Structure 1
Amino acid sequence: MTDYSVLLPSVPRRLEQALPFAGLVRWTGACRLWQGQAMVMEPHQTFTGMAGAGFRVPTGFGVTLMPLRHPFEAALQARSVALATGESVIAGFGPGSRAFQENLLGAPYEKPLQVARQYVQAVRRLLDGETVEMDGPHYTFQGQLPPAVAPRVDVGLGVLRPAMARLAGEVADVVITWLTPPGYLREVILPAVVEGAERAGRTSLPRVVAMVPTGLEKEGRQGAEPERLALAGNSAHMQAPHYLDMLGRAGVDVGSGRIQDVARGVVETGAFAGGDLPQVLKTLRVYEEAGVDEIVLNATAVNKLFGAQEALLDLSAILRAAVPPR
């Protein structure tokens, strides 16, 4: 059975802005609260703050960007959230765009797959209590986390294209996708994950998590057409070279240079789950049938255009229809 989770649909500037979404996870059939990389309130601190306010729920980071922190710091932060919440954590990582790498590091990663491999392996081993000794080519350090009994922290890798999917199949606990059409997941990403796992001799596959942007068209809500919502919530992704490459591989028309054409393709390929509630559920079922283990509902566009209360209403309606209550 596919699990359903919730993405925090905005970057909070005050902790209380995030609490209703943690409450939604606590009081519905949702299994986890996720947040992507944020540059205002740092996600690890947001989740720890919510735990201090009494909202302790399983959490996921999908994904934090590798140039921002050393692998030792990444493992320490992820385990700290598990200790603070008393709940499991999925710590997802990704290299970010080449421009982001260059801005922070002075130059982009020459071999991003090689960097990601070393990074994920270091974090996993540190969380397992091992003493890690790395002598390049990208990280040179020796370290061990002090022992502590903490809930499980799984290590995930952000995946858009086959090469990263194969790597995730080799070294990650979780595969995390964003804005990836279900057909592309089924036909391209999942076979690559299987290939990587077989190459590494793994006896079980990583869990597959799909971040799916969504929003309901309903009476009284003007301007909630799927293409408009898809654009409102994902315009930055629809202009980033690595996302455009992925979407092009998935059959989206990215060659015209018009972001409106990209948004239309995102809707047509099912990468955005829009329309009325039955239409949204139909799209989400395609992800389930593709083999996704966890669907993360992303109501960023509704939150941006209509406010947090409307986003909560959409998420509640979808969760009630898609999953049984706890």
Structure 2
Amino acid sequence: MKYSLLVPIGATRPEQAVPFANLVQWTAAERLWLGQGMVLESQHLVSWLSGLGIRVPTGFGVSLMPFRSPYHAAVEARSVALTTGFPVVAGFGPGAVALQRGLLGRPYTSQIGAAKEYVRIVRELLAGRTAEAEGGHFTVSATLVPALAPPVSVGLGVLRERMAVAAGEVADAAVTWMAGARYLADTLVPAMRGADRRGPGAPLRVSAIVPFALAAPGRDPVALASAACGAHMRLPHYRDTLRRAGVVVRGEAGEDARALVDAGVFLYGSADEIHGALGEFAAAGVDEVVLNATGVALAHGPRAAADDLLEMLRGVAPEAEPGAAGRSDGGPG
């Protein structure tokens, strides 16, 4: 199983992402992941880093579909591959119903149907084919201007079983979030693997974004879990996901955050203890774990988050295949 890291802050200046991008260059981390940028657009941020000379493999987990058309999504994803010179994982998700209503005027009539249409269109465009679609949510007849670029894998954000099946059917990758190892092993991964995979040829890859914090004096795991996941726990689809995973959430922030820690959704402990817990993700069928130190960044600052990430990655052996080696440097001399 590969290790990657998520930029644990919502950057408002591009310089704020530099320490985390450098960690991908200097350690065994496979990829720099970013969520949906709400101030700086994540794809633009990666291009800025590339212009600075920090070029690393990237993943977007996940970009929200209402923010961009499928054509724009394909152009952005390929632009990042061209700018960095590395493969990209471009993950997408429909977002909350309230977001869809606010940006589109009404929610998607089918969350699963819209996601599958979107991913199919983006994949067709990135494959160099003409995307012809007149579906229930998107109508497209278009082709990208040809350009030789590193490959872009199109991913789908997965919380629940039906979206896991959809990812297994149409996507190159599934990107999970707030899913413990048991829920992955018992529900999500079997749903992905059992899907009728008619489109993509290669096996589906699973990337799990896992929130964590290293134990240290003055740290409260419940407060850290609340900082990392509290905003998501207030959304109905995340609460439903946790209930399906057997995590009892009652709408009380402290108790709900404690439930995440107790269930292993938020990992807290020594580096060895967390590595041990992450071994369960590998056993569940996860190909890549994405270390998410957002709780530490919010509670103790970005430097503390970078320190936690570095400590975790010190214990990771580099992959035998090309990864960190050969990247344009910014690394320490």
**Band the TM-score falls in, shorter-chain normalisation:** over 0.9
Deviation at 1:135, TM superposition (A): 1.8
Task: State the distance in 2 between where 1:253 and 1:28 align.
Answer: 37
**Does 2:5 match 1:3?**
no
Give the structure 2 partner of residue 304 of structure 1: 298
AA aligned opposite 2:208: A
Q: Distance in 2 between matches of 1:302 and 1:114?
A: 36
Match of 1:239 in 2: 234
CA pair 203-276 structure 1, distance change in 2 beyond 3 A: same
Instruction: Deviation per CA, 1:200-223: give whole Å up to 9, x if none.
Output: 3876431000000011112xx41x
> Secondary structure at 2:258's aligned position in 1?
helix
Name the aligned partner's letter for residue 12 of structure 1: A
> Which residue is equivalent to 2:61?
62
Distance in 2 of aligned mates of 1:147 and 1:272? 43
Cα distance, 1:322 vs. partner? 3.2
- 2:286 equivalent in structure 1: 292
Q: Report the 3-state secondary structure (helix = DSSP H, G, I; strand = E; otherwise coil) of the residue aligned with 2:315.
A: helix
CA offsets 1:135-181 (integer angstroms, 9 cap, x no match): 23211121100111100100000000010000100000000000111
Aligned sequence identity (%):
48
Post-superposition offset of 1:287? 1.1
User: Whole-Å Cα distance in 2 between the matches of residues 70 and 26 of structure 1?
Assistant: 32
CA distance in 2 between partners of 1:32 and 1:250 (Å) = 27
Q: For structure 1, which segment, 127-136 or 46-55, has the greater mean C-alpha deviation from structure 2 after superposition?
A: 127-136
> Is 1:272 matched with 2:271?
no
Q: Which residue of 1 aligns with 2:85?
A: 86
The one-letter code sitting in structure 1 at the alignment partner of 2:79 is: S
Structure 1 unaligned segments of length 5 or more: list them: none
Cα pair 1:61 1:92 within 8 Å, conserved: yes
8 Å CA contact 2:172–2:200 kept in 1: the answer is no
1:323 is matched with which residue? Answer: 317
CA contact (8 A) 1:117 1:167 kept: yes
One-letter code aligned to 1:242 = H
- Retained in 1: the 8 A contact 2:153–2:173? yes
TM alignment of 1:100-111, pairs within 5 A: 100-111=99-110
Tell me how far apart the structure 1 counterparts of residues 290 and 197 of structure 2 sit (CA, whole Å): 29
Bigger CA drift: 277-286 or 3-12? 277-286
CA contact (8 A) 1:225 1:274 kept: no
Q: Quote the Cα distance in structure 1 between the aligned partners of 2:201 and 2:66.
A: 31
Deviating more after overlay: 36-45 vs 257-266: 257-266
Q: Secondary structure at the match of 2:295?
A: helix
Higher RCO, Cα 8 Å, sep 6+: 2
1:119 alignment counterpart: 118
Moved more, 93-102 or 304-313: 304-313
Measured in 2, the distance between the counterparts of 1:241 and 1:281 equals 31
In the other structure, the counterpart of 1:169 is 168
Q: Write the letter of the residue equivalent to 1:77.
A: E
Ranges of 4+ aligned residues in structure 1 off by more than 6 Å: none
How far apart, in 2, do the equivalents of 1:324 and 1:202 lie?
28
Letter in 2 for 1:192: A
Q: TM-score, normalised by structure 2?
A: 0.93
| 3-state DSSP of counterpart to 2:268 | strand
- Aligned partners of 2:158, 2:270: CA distance in 1, in Å? 29
Q: 2 CA distance for matches of 1:74 and 1:7?
A: 20
Distance change (3 Å), C-alpha of 1:39 and 1:203: closer
With normalisation by structure 1, the TM-score equals 0.95
Check conservation: 1:26, 1:57, Cα contact below 8 A. yes
Aligned residue for 1:29, secondary structure, equals: coil
1:207 corresponds to: 205
Map of 1:257 onto structure 2: 251
Q: Name the structure 1 match of 2:36.
A: 37
Aligned partners of 2:62 and 2:90 also within 8 Å:
yes
RMSD: 1.4
**1:283 equivalent in structure 2:** 277
